[in-house]
């Protein structure tokens, strides 16, 4: 008789082996006697509430094991024990055979800022998810199901959605969140739990250093920002600039530092630096100082909502300097909301609509047909991300008999094995850290539209 059992054992934080009576010896015996490929301990924090609503924290020890015979008695000191999923019993040699079929559907999650200050980016991401799902679910092999939830532009909400996806919903992979601060808060939970993460919009440096379960199709802005400065010097004759950046946002700080280095390297004089904070709406003090410096250009390193406010208020104050920016400038939402204030602005991008590759031309055509709008770089990165995950799901060979932990590990390994991908972004080459490298380009706003700077 063969059992396939998933055991969840809840152990209070601070308890050591000396506190557990016969629990730890029982677990040691279980892990030793079971075949190695079926005994996979994992430890990660689990949040829960008591019946009185008081918040507590425990360590959750997940062990997925295959046992011959009845499950072992683990002793009276087990705090919580659940036997879930598949307990299949049969007699004869057929019981030991592994199922050869793969799963019909991979159950995935996605968390993005659908409301709140950075929701300005999310429309094209949602559109790309919808479009990509239609495409992949028309292909052979397992289907993808993606549950989309809103983190309200808040890192605490991103953490809560991650915990729900990891623990309650048992998702095999999580897309998102949208920006770096949310990612640094939430993604470590997935790394500790062994859940793959695919980031489609986070350009902040260092997010893949969280661990080997973190992947992204979003290109780090620091790798393409130097192209913006070079184009501004060559095409616009920029000699002096003033910088302004959001000093409590990791993404904005990273872009500011990248611009600072590139400006110095290209011999551009930095006349002054001003700072703002996330959520600020009145920038008159900083912009008045910048106006007195009379720079050729103003370099903005901020998220979308703040970037729009800075550009529109600068024009209201009579500042006519050209704007240089990072990824926020590539957003169709920022372009729309900034309007005429953004005319002639320059930014580097990992993607542009007129890229001459077959996948991109088809993507742009279909996106315009489906949504009566132009895609942006976030849509392109998101679409490619779903396609890459589909390729990994197909390659992973996840079967109905695999426990959730094994399925997640198989999917992670399949993602790590993808070294290059030819998609909407063109040819993507992945570093050992899981970061994408693409050629990129520089865009300038002309007549309210992004145009490629040749």
Tokens coding 133:
């799902």
Same fold for the pair 105-219+356-437 and 222-349: yes
In this prediction, residues 98-122 reach a mean pLDDT of: 88
Angular region, 138: left φ>0, alpha ψ -120 to 50, beta rest: alpha
Residue 298, SS3? strand
CB 10 within 8 A of CB 82: no
What are the extents of the domains in the chain?
2-96, 105-219+356-437, 222-349
Query: pTM, whole model, 2 decimals?
Result: 0.70
User: What gap in Å lies between CA 283 and CA 293, rounded to an integer?
Assistant: 16
pLDDT score, position 332: 85
Q: Which helix (H) or strand (E) holds 111?
A: strand 105-112
- Find out whether 306 and 251 touch, Cβ atoms under 8 Å: no
Beta strand 197-199 with 174-175 is parallel
Distance, CA of 185 to CA of 375 (rounded, Å): 29
Classify domain 105-219+356-437 at the CATH topology level.
Answer: Rossmann fold (3.40.50)
Identify the residue with better confidence: 354 or 375: 375
CB 381 within 8 A of CB 127: no
How do residues 205-230 score in pLDDT, each as one tens digit? Answer: 899 999 999 999 999 888 889 999 99
Q: Give the total residue count for the chain.
A: 454
pLDDT in tens, 238-290: 999 999 999 998 889 999 999 999 999 999 999 999 999 999 999 999 999 99
Alpha-carbon gap, residue 414 to 395, rounded angstroms = 6
pLDDT value at residue 6: 45
pLDDT above 90: residue 14 = no
As assigned by CATH, the class of the 222-349 domain is: alpha beta
């Amino acid at each position: 008789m063969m059992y396939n059992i998933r055991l969840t054992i809840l152990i209070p934080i601070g308890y050591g082996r000396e506190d557990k009576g016969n629990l730890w010896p029982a677990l040691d015996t279980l892990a030793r006697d079971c075949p190695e490929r079926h005994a996979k301990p994992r430890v990660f924090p689990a949040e829960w509430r008591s019946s009185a609503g008081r918040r507590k924290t425990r360590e959750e020890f997940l062990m997925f094991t295959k046992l011959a015979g009845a499950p072992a008695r683990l002793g009276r000191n087990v705090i919580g024990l659940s036997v879930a999923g598949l307990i299949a019993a049969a007699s004869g040699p057929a019981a030991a055979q592994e199922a050869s079929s793969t799963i019909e559907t991979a159950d995935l999650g996605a968390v993005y800022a659908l409301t709140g200050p950075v929701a300005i980016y999310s429309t094209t991401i949602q559109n790309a998810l919808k479009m990509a799902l239609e495409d992949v679910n028309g292909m052979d092999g397992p289907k993808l199901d993606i549950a989309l939830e809103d983190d309200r532009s808040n890192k605490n909400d991103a953490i809560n959605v991650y915990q729900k996806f990891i623990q309650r919903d048992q998702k095999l992979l999580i897309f998102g969140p949208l920006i770096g601060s949310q990612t640094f808060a939430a993604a470590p939970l997935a790394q500790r739990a062994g859940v793959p993460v695919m980031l489609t919009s986070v350009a902040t440096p260092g997010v893949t250093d969280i661990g080997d379960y973190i992947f992204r199709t979003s290109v780090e802005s620091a790798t393409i920002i130097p192209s913006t400065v070079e184009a501004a010097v060559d095409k616009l004759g920029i000699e002096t600039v003033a910088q302004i950046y959001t000093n409590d946002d990791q993404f904005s700080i990273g872009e500011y530092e990248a611009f600072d280095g590139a400006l110095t390297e290209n011999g551009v004089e930095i006349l002054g630096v001003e700072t703002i904070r996330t959520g600020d709406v009145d920038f008159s003090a900083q912009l008045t100082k910048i106006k007195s410096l009379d720079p050729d250009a103003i370099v903005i390193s901020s998220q979308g909502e703040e970037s729009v406010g800075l550009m529109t208020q600068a024009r209201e104050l009579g500042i006519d300097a050209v704007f240089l920016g990072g990824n926020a400038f590539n957003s169709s939402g920022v372009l729309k909301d900034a309007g005429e204030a953004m005319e002639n602005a320059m930014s580097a991008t990992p993607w542009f609509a007129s890229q001459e590759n077959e996948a991109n031309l088809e993507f742009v055509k279909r996106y315009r047909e489906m949504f009566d709008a132009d895609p942006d770089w976030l849509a392109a990165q998101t679409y490619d991300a779903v396609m890459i995950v589909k390729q990994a799901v197909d390659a992973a060979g996840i079967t109905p008999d695999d426990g959730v932990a094994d399925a997640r590990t198989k999917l992670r390994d399949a993602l790590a094995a993808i070294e290059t991908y030819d998609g909407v972004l063109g040819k993507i080459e992945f570093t050992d850290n899981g970061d994408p490298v693409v050629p990129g380009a520089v865009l300038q706003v002309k007549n309210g539209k992004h145009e490629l700077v040749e």
